[in-house]
Structure 1
Amino acid sequence: MNATLIAVALSLVSAGAYATAAVAQARLAGRTDPSAGALRLMGRGAWWSAVGLNAGGALLHVAALKYGPLTLVQPLGALTLVAAVPLGARSAGRRVSRTEWRGTLLTLVGLAALLLAAGGAAPHDTLSLPEALGVGAVTMALVAALSRPGTRPGLRHAAASGITSGVASALTQTLTVAATDHSGPLLSWRLVTVAVLVSFFALGGLMLSQTAYRGGLGAPLAVVTLANPVAAAAIGLILLGERIQGGAVGLVPALIGTLAAVRGVVLLSRAQAGSTAGGVPEPAGAASVAAASVPAVTVPAVTVPAVTVPAVTVPPSRVVLTGPSLTAPRPAEPFTLYPEPVGSPGGPG
């Protein structure tokens, strides 16, 4: 089978696993106290289910990187959001909206155009040790700036998660290709260093995404989905010598596909954000709120056996009336208090 087809097939299954994990993480984040520490989070079975799904998706992703370049495999990560839409809708007990279907269609069309432009041979180039260390240093600086202490969980953490995940994929490809081409020792300093960086960035991306999902699934997942392939493709094009098929002419379908995919992801993120909004619409036909002035009402003093009720003055107040129509207040009438017979229902008995 063609290496490109193998990479695409593995990426599809990987996206399904990642999407299921993202929905599980979002549900867990919604049920967890934001102040809960990592140890408490790790004590829940749902967390380990999400970790297992992410691990399965990562292994499939690693296998895909063996057969396809970063510029091909990483954009297919947008399918994670496409798969998360029906999964998230089913989890919330609702139907997929028309906007979500439009976003899904645009994303798929854009990815198809990117496949035509980016489909290339299996990767052979790898990052050198200085290049890997340089990529790691730049990534850590970006993550520190985006997720500095005191930053509100949200899109910044999502961007940091996408960047670290994309860099981890690029480093993983170096590790996979170098370990399978048998061109050098398996325990070289370069491979050990790259393996440590992969583990660090993969775990960091997972924790950053968990933090980002506290504000909802739609927009953060969209940012993760877009930042991931951008970071990985930048490494592939700048450091690994990957090229767009067709040269300058091939840039046209690549740009069209990128714009369509970005538009689709934006639509999906907006629809997801709207579906999680907790606003309650105002009932139709409700009357406007009006205020009526009520004059002061004075109750004269009334004397009953053993009970004296002094004069009571009710000051003017504003009474809010709602409903389809407003009725003017009736004038106050004097009333008399009568003593309740002993032994009657409700009396002292």
Structure 2
Amino acid sequence: MAKADIAALLALAAAVFIALGDVVHQRSAHQVTDAEIGRSGLFLRLLRDRVWWLGSAVAAVGFALQAAALGLGSVLLVQAVLVTSLLFALPLSARAARRRVTGSEWTWAVLLAASVVVIVTVGNPTAGQTRASAHGWAVVAAVLVPLLGLGLWGARRFGGSVRAVLLALVSGALWGVFAVLTKTVVGLLGAGIPALLRAPELYAWVVVAVAGTVWQQSSFRAGAITASLPAMTIAEPLVASVLGIALLGETLHPGESGWLVLAAAVATVVVATVALARGEARTTSGAGAR
């Protein structure tokens, strides 16, 4: 079996564990307290919650599988397959909440995952290097930090599903950076532990993981999983893919006609994500009316 095929299977397994961890984390974020609470207070409360730690352990298995997949395949391939976590998270969340996944939710979720499969197969991604230059990361920080700040500003001004989506986009972007750093960390392991401990990417990797977790919990707290998870699920691979191409030299080979198919698939991903978020907003409004 080719390395890319093994990487895809590992990424699919990672998607299952990450989805389960996300569902547990989302429920913990809502149940840990009924009081209004900021992101720091929420995170500190969750650190004392046993169920949240159970979800973290499950998610950690997913991250380990993701790291193994990144060791064999490109960021483009692995992150695209991870979008399928949405297909596992929706029924798991619905079962935990004792409700049924609607036909509309399933339709958009399947379209979302199918579009990503098209992106992977038509795009034919190939791996590049495992480590980016310091200059490249500086450019990424100069572009990404203001965008994340804008998202957080918007999240403070709005509530409900809009807040959940904005926080999810911030968290998803951070997890996208985390994925690229994971690729680097896995690559540095081959040079030995001393070399890894001297690498600044290791410490950036830890900081980004903590930040991504904090904003993820805030997003889960702000709304139901069908509002936050679709945005988070798609922001991560999009950011990771752009960074994989720009920083690691990964490439796509869709052919002349394939670019149109890729564009259509990306547009479908965006539309499906928005549709799932709007569907959640309607559901929430309806519940409030009753």
| Same-fold status (TM-score > 0.5) | yes
TM-score scaled by structure 1? 0.71
Q: Structure 1 residues 137, 187: CA separation in 2 closer, same or farther (over 3 Å shift)?
A: farther
Q: Which amino acid aligns with 1:21?
A: G
For the 8 Å contact 2:71–2:186, the answer to whether it is kept is yes
How many percent of aligned residue pairs carry the same amino acid? 28
For the 8 Å contact 1:71–1:118, the answer to whether it is kept is no
CA–CA distance in structure 1, aligned partners of residues 220 and 196 of structure 2:
36
- How far apart are residue 106 of structure 1 and its match? 1.0
CA–CA distance in structure 1, aligned partners of residues 222 and 203 of structure 2:
30
Partner of 1:124: 129
CA–CA distance in structure 1, aligned partners of residues 70 and 130 of structure 2:
12
Q: Structure 1 residues 273, 91: CA separation in 2 closer, same or farther (over 3 Å shift)?
A: farther
Partner of 1:59: 64
Once the two structures are superposed, residues 51-99 of structure 1 have per-residue CA deviations (whole angstroms, 9 ceiling, x without a partner) of 2122122111111111221222212232122211111111111222110
Note the aligned Cα RMSD (angstroms): 2.5
- How far apart are residue 247 of structure 1 and its match? 4.0
Task: Tell me which of 190, 206, 213 is aligned to 2:213.
Answer: 206
For the 8 Å contact 2:126–2:252, the answer to whether it is kept is no
CA–CA distance in structure 2, aligned partners of residues 269 and 22 of structure 1:
17
> Does residue 95 of structure 2 align to residue 85 of structure 1?
no
Once the two structures are superposed, residues 134-163 of structure 1 have per-residue CA deviations (whole angstroms, 9 ceiling, x without a partner) of 435654444344325955553332211111
CA–CA distance in structure 2, aligned partners of residues 15 and 273 of structure 1:
25
Once the two structures are superposed, residues 157-189 of structure 1 have per-residue CA deviations (whole angstroms, 9 ceiling, x without a partner) of 221111111011111112212333x4xx65348
Instruction: Work out which of the two has the higher radius of gyration on C-alpha atoms and give 1 or 2.
Output: 1
Q: Which amino acid aligns with 2:204?
A: L
Partner of 2:117: 112
Q: Secondary structure at the match of 2:107?
A: helix
Q: Secondary structure at the match of 1:279?
A: helix
Partner of 2:236: 228
- How far apart are residue 128 of structure 1 and its match? 2.3
Partner of 1:96: 101
Q: Which amino acid aligns with 1:34?
A: E
Partner of 2:176: 166
Aligned pairs for 1:133-282 (under 5 A) are 133-136=138-141, 138-147=143-152, 150=156, 153-180=163-190, 182=191, 186-188=193-195, 192-216=199-223, 217-277=225-285, 278-280=287-289
For the 8 Å contact 1:164–1:204, the answer to whether it is kept is yes
Partner of 1:290: none
CA–CA distance in structure 2, aligned partners of residues 236 and 211 of structure 1:
27
Once the two structures are superposed, residues 14-35 of structure 1 have per-residue CA deviations (whole angstroms, 9 ceiling, x without a partner) of 1111211222122122222332
For the 8 Å contact 2:196–2:202, the answer to whether it is kept is no
Partner of 1:24: 24
Q: Structure 1 residues 262, 108: CA separation in 2 closer, same or farther (over 3 Å shift)?
A: same
For the 8 Å contact 2:130–2:183, the answer to whether it is kept is no
How many pairs align? 278
CA–CA distance in structure 1, aligned partners of residues 89 and 135 of structure 2:
38
* Structure 2: gaps spanning 5 or more residues: none
Partner of 2:5: 5
Q: Secondary structure at the match of 2:217?
A: helix
- How far apart are residue 194 of structure 1 and its match? 0.2
- How far apart are residue 116 of structure 1 and its match? 0.8
More moved, 201-210 vs 99-108: 99-108
CA–CA distance in structure 2, aligned partners of residues 115 and 150 of structure 1:
36
Q: Which amino acid aligns with 1:84?
A: A
